Each structure stands twice: as C-alpha cells, then as structure tokens.
Structure 1
Amino acid sequence: MATTPGGPAAEPTARRDRYAGPPRYRAVPRWGLPVGPWRIAPVPGEGPLRPVDRARALAAQLVPVLWVVVVVSGVAAVAEVWRYVLLLFSRSDALSPEAVGVSDALVWFGGWSSVVATIAAGVLMISWSVWTYRAAADRSGTRAWRSRRRVVAGWVVPGWNLVAPGSLLAETEHAALDLPPERRPSPSRELLVWWALWAACVVLGAVVLVWRFRTGTQALADGVVLHAWADVLAAVTAWRTIRVVRLLTALLATRAQGPRQLLVSATAGTAGAEPAVPVGAAGPQAAPTAAPVPTTSAAPAG
C-alpha cells in the first residue's frame, strides 16, 4: 500500500466562523410557537375533562387552602383573646408599649390573613361545588336543574346562603350514594353538622360586621369577644369543610358499578339475620332441601 511522502495527510479541521449576530430574514418567518399560554396536548381518543376530574383537581387545591384558613383563624382567635386580657389588665395597671405593639401586630396579621385565605377558599369552594354538582348529575343520569349562576348566587346572596349551600351539597351527596333520583335527599350527619356550622358562621360574621359601627368603650370590648368567637367558629367550620370536601369527592370518584358494602343491622337475639353482601352481587341462595324420605313402619311380628 502506497503512502504519501511525509506520512498520512492530516484531516482538515472544521472552520469556526465568528458570531455574526442573530439571523436575519428578508420576510417575516411563517414558523414559530403558537400564540397563547402553554397547553398540554390532548391524548388522542380522549375528550375534555369530565366534571368529576375537574372536581378532584379543585379539591386538591381547596383542601390546603382550607388548612391555611384553620391556622390563620386560630392565630386571629389567640390574638383577640390576648387583646381582651390586656384590656382587663389596663383597668388597674398601665400596659407596656411592647405588649400592646405585639398584640396589635398579631391582631393585624391574623385578621387580614384570615380574610385573604377565606376569600381564596371561598372562590375554590364555589368552583368545586359547581363541578361536583355536575358530576353528581352525570353519575345519576339526570339533568342538573341548578345553573352555574344559581349555584354561585346560593353561596353569596345574603340570607339565601344560609340554606342553598346545604341543600346543594345534600343533592350532591344523594346522587353520589347512587340513591334513587325520585327520593327526597336526606343529608348525612356529617353534612348536617357542617350545615349548622356554616349557617352559624354566616350569622356571626354579619353580627361582627354590624357591631363595628358601634362606639364606646364597652362596645369595643364586646367587639373583641365577638371577633374571638368568630375566628374560633371560622377555624372549626373550615376543618369540617375539609371533611365534607374529601367525603363527597371520594364518593364521586368511586365507580357507580362495583362492589359496595351494604350494612345490615340486627338487634341482639334476632334469628335469621343476613350478613352484609356487596350490592349487585348475587344474594345468598337458600340451601337445597332434601326431598322427604318416606318412612314405613314394620308390622309387628305376629
């Protein structure tokens, strides 16, 4: 094999051009990213998100915000109690500026943070209730007779918001339990407790708002007590709301057709009580009875 004199030829090195700036075009390019926010491409063969999927996504955002409401409402309640204790001490002794400053800072932080967290939780709660109501209607195979505007108005209109949210969630629970649509909804104990707390929270909040317009030393002291009770009630109501949201979301997320445990109660001493069987499964079959065997009596030996 012949080689060139002086050894093999060196491979040519790639030439590096200097950076000449961004590319220039004689006309506006027709390619590029689409205008608008980034969106996840839909999976082929799948349609838009179902109401139950939207309800689950909103519940995942709502529950942490409700926990924030519980915490900041508790802080606000402690701050109001501390302010009332300082008012009692101020009747006989002078208060230190540091104690008053810390009390005012806690009251300010607890009050405004609870207001912001409550508004955020309220917006998410209304959206969640809209989609859970639609998901319950789809599950039961009926048409949702409450429109979006009617649901929102039931939460925000004074007076109406004492009964509309409870009845809305009662209808949602009724459909989520796969009960007959023609039967009147009967709220569970969990929902009734939440309903009572919600109504009490709305009423006490209105009383606190009206009480702020009163003047006088005693009115201010009574306002501190009302604010403390309102914060405590708000924290308890938010905690019960978390339980209701998780309960209804879990009921709607389960399949309508599938094994469900049916509880059968039997009193002590009751005979023939049937055990719990899954709904939709074949019921307990009676054991086949044997045919009566004819018996013949032997004739006495004679």
Structure 2
Amino acid sequence: MNGGQVGRSRTAVVQPCARCGARWAVQGKPLHWCPRCHGVLLSPAPVDAPADRRNYRWVARPPGRKASASQPVRRTGTAETPRYHQIPRWGLQDRPAAPAAETYRPLAAWTDRLEQLLVATAVVFLVAAVAELGRYGILLRNRTRLIQPWLLWISDAAVTVSAVLALALALMSAVALVGWLAETRRVAYANVGESDSRSLFTLVLGCVVPIANLIWPGIFLTEAARRTGDGDPRLLRAVRIWWAAWLLNAVLVLVALIYRFANSLQVQADGVLVAMWTDVVAAGVAVASLGLVRDFAGLDLRGRPKTLRRWVIATGPVRPVIEPVRRAPAAAIRDDAVVGADAPAVDDAAVEDRAGASADAGQQEVVAK
C-alpha cells in the first residue's frame, strides 16, 4: 500500500478519484480530495460493486502506463461540449444511393403516344375508306342521273381531307413505331445479357428506305421476339401476321397508284374501289401494329393481361364414365343362391344352367326393346 493507495488490499470499501482514477481505502471518515492529484474523490463503494451500484467510471490507460503521484494527470480538450463541425470521416459512411442513370430514349415524345396514334390512324383510314366507297356510289349513280354539284363537292372534300389526314397520322405512327422498336430491342437484348448490335441509324434506314422497308422491319421484330419471353412462338406468329399484312398493304398501295394513271373511266372507277380496299387494309395494319405492341408488353389487343394456358400430359388411364355390362361369374351366382346356413345344397350344373338362362333372358329383353 503506497500512501494509502489500495493495491491488493483487504479493504472492501474504496473511494475512486475522479481525476487520476486511483482508489483509496476508506479508513474511518471518508476523504474529499485525492492525496495524489487533489482531485475529487467519489463516494465510498465496494471494490467489486456492479456497474449499476457504482457512482464512478473506469478510465482506460495504455498497457504498462500508470499514473504517479508526482505527475498529475493532465486534462485534454477544452471545457466546451465536444462537437463536430462536419460529418466525421473515420466512421461508417451511409452515403445515399446514387440515382440511376436515365436511359436515353430516342423519339420518346412520339413513343409515349404510340397507342393513341395507332388508334387514330386506324379510325381515319376507315373514314377514308367510307369516303372512297361514297365516291364509288356517286359514280354508279352518275351513270343514269346527274349528281348535284354540292354533293360532288362534299365527296371530293371528304376524300381529300381524310386521305391527307390519314397519310399524316400514318407518318407520325411510323416515327413512333421506330422509337418503340429501338426501345423494345434494347430491353429484349438486355434481358438475355446482350447489347443490340443494330444502331438507331440502321433501324431508321431499314424502316424508311422504300423496298427495304418491306423486309427489314420484319427482321428487326423477329430478332426482338426471339429474345423476348424465351422465344414465345405466339409472339413470333404475331410478328409474321403483322409482316404479311404490311406486305399486302404495300402491294395494294402500288396497285392503287397504277390505277391513278388510267385513261378509261371504268378503270378509274375501279381504282376508286381499289383505293377503298387499300384504306381498309391500312386500317388493319394499324390495328395489327397496336396488337403487336401490346403482345410485346404481355397484353391482349384490348390492353388486358394475357391469361397463360399450359397443356400438360395426362398420365392416368382412360376410364369410361359408364362401365360396360359384364356377365357375373358362377361363384357369385352360387353365393347369391344360398339363402341360409340350413339351405339345401345346390348343384353346380344347375347353377350354371340358371346363369345361362338368365343371360339369355336378358339378351332377349334387350333385343325386344
């Protein structure tokens, strides 16, 4: 014991120093000041008192370093409350998640309105077909009677306005479809861990250049369909149907242009009828395009989620609902013939004769019916 300091003391009650951490044995009256550093002594407490019963704290020092009575413990820091002027960099950093980079969407303003454009295109082409049909009816009527000028003016205006409006909507829908095609291909290739090998410029050229746009759009869509939904054959079939409608529409457009250069009145009248069918097929192509867009999105033509139907192989045996009538064995007939334990014995031959007679009677009854 050095100056009353407890080393390995048998004293059970000590007073720790709040400054240097030395523990002093309580001998009689408790002290107020530490004999070593003149710090405040805490109230007496048992040496092995648990944490909830102590009114002092432990001070950690580096291994092998002990405070001496001649060297008072120096305080570090200031009297101000410790605080940080900025977020400390020595701890765990909870950085906010970086925002995802926005995907570049070419022609996004058109692509977002694709479905509305396709519906409007189909409706206007149907109106144009009705206008062409009305003109054809006027031509038939004009063979025997004169047509009023105001009716001709209405017919010409309806045909011209509907044709121009349908052409404008078709061009806008084509631009939106190119943007949709680029986005669909990018998503389809990303789902299989690949990147689209065809640039936007290539897609535009394949869909815009005449004659080439009869082949390349179908190829672009087929490549995307094979990477969407594990190559769903129904999606590939929808692409082929759209492709066939697109080719048919191109053929009808070419035929309608040829009819425009005819000199005969009858051929020109036939050209009006061909123009009407061209507008009908163009409306069908717009509807097929809308269905194709929704097929890639997993929807039906009306925009509802598709119901997947899967066929499984039936492994159980095929059993008829109504079992066929079979002849009972002789043993069963013998058992039915026995009424009680003391009944007389029945001859097997007689039982078989009875069974045969019953079968013959049943067969005769069936024949009679």
Task: With the length of structure 1 as denominator, give the TM-score of the two structures.
Answer: 0.64
Q: 1:50 to 1:138 in 2, by over 3 A?
A: farther
Contact 1:201 1:234 in 2 (8 A): yes
Paired residue for 1:201? 249
Paired residue for 1:67? 119
Aligned pairs for 1:3-14 (under 5 A) are none
1:230 to 257, 278, 284: 278
Paired residue for 1:275? none
2:93 is the alignment partner of 1:47: no
Cα displacement (A) at 1:179: 4.4
Contact 1:132 1:249 in 2 (8 A): no
Paired residue for 2:202? 150
CA distance in 1, matches of 2:166, 2:316: 56
2:325 is the alignment partner of 1:271: no
CA distance in 2, matches of 1:232, 1:263: 33
| Secondary structure, counterpart of 2:113 in structure 1 | helix
Deviations 1:149-190 (A, max 9, x none): 22122212232222211121122122121349xxxx885332
CA distance in 2, matches of 1:174, 1:135: 12
Contact 1:134 1:144 in 2 (8 A): yes
CA distance in 1, matches of 2:294, 2:243: 16
CA distance in 2, matches of 1:77, 1:209: 16
CA distance in 2, matches of 1:105, 1:62: 28
Deviations 1:204-255 (A, max 9, x none): 112222332332312311210111011000111101111111221348xxxx
| Secondary structure, counterpart of 2:291 in structure 1 | helix
Paired residue for 2:186? 134
Deviations 1:126-150 (A, max 9, x none): 1111221122111111232222222
Structure 1 residue runs of 4 or more that deviate by more than 6 Å after TM superposition: 54-57
Paired residue for 2:164? 112
Paired residue for 1:216? 264
| Secondary structure, counterpart of 2:226 in structure 1 | helix
CA distance in 2, matches of 1:207, 1:135: 38
Contact 1:80 1:107 in 2 (8 A): yes
CA distance in 2, matches of 1:60, 1:168: 20
CA distance in 1, matches of 2:181, 2:211: 19
Which gives a bigger RCO, structure 1 or 2 (Cα 8 Å, sep 6+)? Answer: 1
Q: Which structure shows the bigger proportion of residues in helix conformation? A: 1
Paired residue for 1:84? 136
User: What percent of counterpart residues are identical?
Assistant: 32
Aligned residue pairs, count: 215
Q: 1:134 to 1:107 in 2, by over 3 A?
A: same
Query: Any stretches of 5+ residues in structure 1 without a counterpart?
Result: 1-42, 252-259, 273-302
CA distance in 2, matches of 1:238, 1:172: 20
Cα displacement (A) at 1:44: 5.2
Contact 1:56 1:249 in 2 (8 A): no
| Secondary structure, counterpart of 1:188 in structure 2 | helix
Contact 2:235 2:295 in 1 (8 A): no
Q: Which has the larger radius of gyration?
A: 2
Paired residue for 2:237? 189
Contact 1:62 1:125 in 2 (8 A): yes
Paired residue for 2:217? 165
- Return 210-219 or 109-118, whichever deviates more: 210-219
Cα displacement (A) at 1:60: 3.3
Paired residue for 2:11? none
Task: State the one-letter code of the partner of 1:219.
Answer: V
Contact 1:59 1:246 in 2 (8 A): no
Q: 1:240 to 1:84 in 2, by over 3 A?
A: same
Deviations 1:42-99 (A, max 9, x none): x952212266xx7987543111011111111011000000100110111111111222
Q: 1:149 to 1:206 in 2, by over 3 A?
A: farther
2:220 is the alignment partner of 1:174: no
- Return 115-124 or 216-225, whichever deviates more: 216-225
CA distance in 2, matches of 1:136, 1:49: 15
CA RMSD of aligned residues (A): 2.9
Query: Any stretches of 5+ residues in structure 2 without a counterpart?
Result: 1-96, 300-305, 318-369
Contact 1:59 1:128 in 2 (8 A): yes
Deviations 1:11-56 (A, max 9, x none): xxxxxxxxxxxxxxxxxxxxxxxxxxxxxxxx952212266xx798
